[in-house]
Amino acid sequence: MHQKSVARLIALTAGLWIAGSAAAQTSSPATPSAQPAAPSAQPAAPTALPSAQQQQQPAQPAQDDAAQAAFKGADTNKDSLLSREESAKLPVISSRFAELDKNKDGQLTWEEFKTGYRAAP
């Protein structure tokens, strides 16, 4: 008789445990007046960028900062233009000076310089 009681107790405990697990998964919120959250008007932002975009996005601002520092460092007379002589401090730019000087005025603007700096190997 004792074995039957133990078996019933185990079966009852297991049944209650299973029923409790199922009820917890399907139950409604504890407060009946709780309203579900309204759906957002905007789609969720992607959690991860594709690898090609991850590599390009952070590099651009850092490259622009480096280009700006190089430009300012070479612009010895601080006129916001690089002459051929000033560009001599930057061999990669100096070697392509005529190509980068789009308006052929003998000076590189920031935009002309930046184009050449980005394209430099």
Name the more confident of 1 and 67: 67
Partnered with residue 107 across adjacent β-strands are 83
Across the range 17-38, mean pLDDT stands at: 53
Residues contacting residue 80 through CB under 8 Å, at least 6 positions apart: 109, 110
Amino acid at 25: Q
Indicate whether 49 pLDDT > 50.
no
This prediction's pTM: 0.49
> Minimal CA–CA distance to 113: which of 73, 86, 89, 82?
82
